Amino acid sequence: MKLRRWITAGAVATLAALNVTPATAGRPYDPAAQSLRDLAMRHGLYVGTAVDLAALNDATDPRYRELAASEFSTVTAENAMKWESLEPTRGTYNWGPADELVAFAHQHHQRVRGHVLVWHNQLPSWLTSGVEDGSISTAELRQILHDHITAVVTHFKGSIWQWDVVNEAVSDPWDTPSTLHYKGFWAQHLGPGYIADAFRWARAADPKALLFYNDYNIEALGSGDPANDKTQFVYEMARDLRAAGVPIDGIGSQGHLGTQYGNYDTFQVATALKKFAGLGLATAFTEVDVRSQLTDGVQAGDSAEINPRLQASAANFGVLLRACLAESHCLSFTLWGFTDKHSWVPGWFKNPPEGMATVYDENYQPKRAYQEMKADLIYSGPPFVLPRVPQQPRR
Ligand code: XIL
């Protein structure tokens, strides 16, 4: 299997070097009939999706499993590797669903992004209530974090390509105080030093996985108040971690966009990726979706309201994908779900209602965004889009 992968990679690299496209005997080559994963592999880029294990196992919904396997070359557990899923009771791990996803990925020759080791959300209540009622001390909390990271990374050792080690540690300008700061449960209880600790502990447990910091609203620099720029804040954090010898290998930019916002142009996003690459870091888009407000008109099927949303969505997927293609250290482009049938958006953004956030509609029909992604993968190449530069894990 390893050998086969090498041969495939070699063939793809050779074709890319020759700048030719494969043809099937007798039939003209139709790039638009290829999968996203095959088209992305021309650039050495992995294209991924978050996977909802319930949908994957739903025998009445086979299309979900088919597309998860055929269109993507990397997968992320949408929830199954979060702390509350893996360790719902203290010291008792429930590996089953996450292991199932790893096996699925293996079967379909996909890589796995591990999501997530340290985050302030979806923590088990034994942990949060123990800290709240004082039965878990600060020293014990630090030990618990160490033990969790060590157990999880060790369990999946050898199966994870990129780990989201720390997720969403930085505040937003609309938080209080509005000056950017380290926010949430871990910073409150352990101070910001937990970030360096987490990377070191993860590296000790798996010397080969790439270790990522992951966050949202870091797609571009200079949006909003330049003195309070979240992307710049994360850049400086990563720079300082690297300077201190902390084993961080990459920055994950989640890429949750909305058509009601201004969003970015491709150059702005490429500039941010390039700035991170300047630190010797890989980058990845890790949770891309583009939601829209479901106005009364949209819900009533008014095409005058639906069409501009579909077009703006396609444009935004394209902006992020082209920026990633343009920066050869951008290793993967992961969608946070691929069908509106199973997207977190309608359940999460309710006031006003939002949805239409993925590249396939609720009936698994590809939308304009899907076609736009394909076109971007097809109509790009040297000299401005080059093969990906593999990242070596930092010791
Ligand atoms: C979301 C999942 O998609 C939902 O199913 C769950 O209820 C809440 O979390 N940023 C992240 C992801 O890093 O883990 C979140 O996933 C979406 C925002």
- Return the best residue to mutate from 120, 344, 354 for the ligand 1 pocket (most ligand atoms within 8 A of CB): 344
Active site residue 66: no
Q: Exposed e or buried b for every residue in 267-305, given b needs 16+ CB within 10 A?
A: ebbbbbbbbbbeeebbbbbbbbbbbbbbeeebeeeeeeb
Could you give the CA distance from residue 84 to residue 283 in angstroms, rounded to a whole number?
27
Around Cβ 395, how many Cβ atoms within 10 Å?
A: 7
Could you give the CA distance from residue 3 to residue 125 in angstroms, rounded to a whole number?
45
Using CB atoms within 10 A of its CB, is residue 259 exposed (0-12), middle (13-18) or buried (19+)?
Answer: buried
User: What mean pLDDT is reported for the chain?
Assistant: 94
Choosing from 71, 168, 219, 327, the catalytic residue is 168
**Percentage of the chain lying above the pLDDT 90 cut:** 90
The mean pLDDT value for 245-262 works out to: 97
Pairing of strands 162-167, 256-258: unpaired
Query: How far from 165 is each of 57, 127, 211, CA to CA, in Å?
Result: 27, 18, 6
CA-wise closest residue to 347 among 11, 78, 90, 160: 78
> What does the block give as tokens for 313?
């969505």
pLDDT tens profile 296-342 = 999 999 999 999 999 999 999 999 999 999 999 999 999 999 999 99
User: What SS3 class is residue 182?
Assistant: strand
pLDDT tens profile 3-53 = 455 445 445 555 555 455 555 567 788 999 999 999 999 999 999 999 999
The mean pLDDT value for 355-363 works out to: 98
Going along the chain, which residue ranges are E strands?
A: 46-51, 74-77, 111-118, 162-167, 210-215, 250-253, 256-258, 282-293, 330-335, 354-355
Could you give the CA distance from residue 96 to residue 367 in angstroms, rounded to a whole number?
33
Among protein residues, the one with the nearest Cα to ligand 1's atom 5 is: 344
Is the pTM here over 0.75, yes or no?
A: yes
Reply yes or no on whether the pLDDT at 351 is more than 90: yes
pLDDT tens profile 145-198 = 999 999 999 999 999 999 999 999 999 999 999 999 999 999 999 999 999 999
Using CB atoms within 10 A of its CB, is residue 11 exposed (0-12), middle (13-18) or buried (19+)?
Answer: exposed
Could you give the CA distance from residue 162 to residue 39 in angstroms, rounded to a whole number?
21
The torsion of the CA quartet 271, 272, 276, 281, rounded to 10 degrees, works out to: -90
Could you give the CA distance from residue 132 to residue 127 in angstroms, rounded to a whole number?
9
Could you give the CA distance from residue 74 to residue 220 in angstroms, rounded to a whole number?
24
Confidence of residue 1 (pLDDT cuts 50, 70, 90): very low
Could you give the CA distance from residue 391 to residue 163 in angstroms, rounded to a whole number?
13
Active site residue 287: yes
- Return the best residue to mutate from 53, 56, 75, 79 for the ligand 1 pocket (most ligand atoms within 8 A of CB): 79
